[in-house]
Structure 1
Amino acid sequence: MDDAEVIERILDGDRDAFALLLKRHESLVSRLVAAHVPAEQAAEVAHEAFIRAFKGLHRYRPIKPFRNWLTTVTLRCCKDFWRRAYRNKEAPVCDLSEDGQRWLDTALAARSNEEFETLARRRELGEILEAVLAMLPPLDRMVLTLSYLEERPTRETAEMLGISVPNVKVRAFRAKRKLKIFLKRYGIQGEEHEA
């Protein structure tokens, strides 16, 4: 039975058939969520994505594969996770581990591009990136993550987030500018290191 037939059964009242969709697409949702939210929150966000998919199943139109629709639902859950985190955030730099704080302190003290490039190779870069991205509004964060970190085409990013292509471009431009300002404020600058 393909996804469309399973969905038809669910909409006809066979709620247990949703377990088939869950089993079929669990790895997709898990991968997407793991790429966009902290590991300790991934299971909760994935669960939320499936709940939303179940509740919104009547809105699915089989023009595109169910997998695409589920991807959009999942990414919106990730965006909502960051929206909640952004609303409740404290200064993200304070949340850095001791190693991350040490790295930031060292990076701030670095005088040359060569010293900075050496430091940038360290594993704490991911933590610094998370701290900087956490300063952005949720939708801007998702736009940058999909467009630049995952290197998805602008049109695909727009479809996944349910916004227009020009909106993706504008948000990416503004978000990169905000990141540059943050990095410059902390002394991390130079043409090679622009966001």
Structure 2
Amino acid sequence: MVARHGAAATRAAAWFGAGPDADDVVQEAFVKAWQALDRFRPEAPFRPWLIRIVANQTRNTVRGRKRRDALALRALELREGPDPALDALAAERQRTLLAAVRSLRAAERDVVVCRWLLGLSEAETATALGIPNGTAKSRASRALARLRAELTEMEVSHDRA
């Protein structure tokens, strides 16, 4: 279970805002998943169920902590390549995207994380977040519109500077 889903769970914890606590969140989520395995429906996909546990554990862990600033640092650690110019450009794009994602409301940010950063389907996203499919779809639509507007505004501001 850990070998197959550990990396996705760690990415999810980081994107949901666990920051430096991501490993602890994932470890606790796996313990909770193991303890609740008898309540898992065998016909349901396992990954969204686990991601939902990770999301809930992340919220529990970071409740009371300031906004998820550590998320950006965690995400930037994931990339390293041979061309410093390309790495700098990619890092700048990541910082811009992360700033735009962070500007979303939590509910919209969670949908963006599940759908596009973790690659879950619409149904898996709904399951992982414990919301109806229609809610996941509408939040995703609103979030993409806000991201487009935010990224356009950031680009215009950058061009003026």
- Whether the 8 Å CA contact 2:101–2:109 is kept in 1: the answer is yes
**What whole-Å deviation, never above 9, does each CA across 1:115-141 have from its counterpart, x for those lacking one?**
xxx999432322332333233344422
Which protein has greater RCO, CA pairs closer than 8 Å, 6+ apart? 2
* Per-residue deviation, 1:85: 4.5
Distance 1:179 1:76 in 2: 23
TM-score, with normalisation over the residues of structure 2? 0.63
Q: Which has the larger radius of gyration?
A: 1
Distance 1:42 1:95 in 2: 10
Query: Which residue is equivalent to 2:128?
Result: 160
Distance 2:138 2:104 in 1: 14
Query: Which residue is equivalent to 1:188?
Result: 155
Query: Which residue is equivalent to 2:147?
Result: 179
Matching residue's letter, 1:188: E
Structure 1 unpaired stretches of 5+: 1-24, 101-117, 190-195
Distance 1:87 1:136 in 2: 19
- Whether the 8 Å CA contact 2:108–2:140 is kept in 1: the answer is yes
Distance 1:52 1:154 in 2: 24
Distance 1:96 1:161 in 2: 22
TM-score, with normalisation over the residues of structure 1? 0.54
User: Closer, same or farther in 2 for the Cα pair 1:95/1:42, shift >3 Å?
Assistant: closer
Structure 2 unpaired stretches of 5+: 77-85, 157-161
1:43-192 correspondence to structure 2 within 5 Å: 43-64=23-44, 68-69=45-46, 71-80=47-56, 81=58, 85=62, 88-90=65-67, 92=69, 121-185=89-153, 187-188=154-155
**Corresponding pairs, count:** 140
Structure 1 ranges of 4+ moved more than 6 A: 94-97
CA RMSD after TM alignment: 3.6
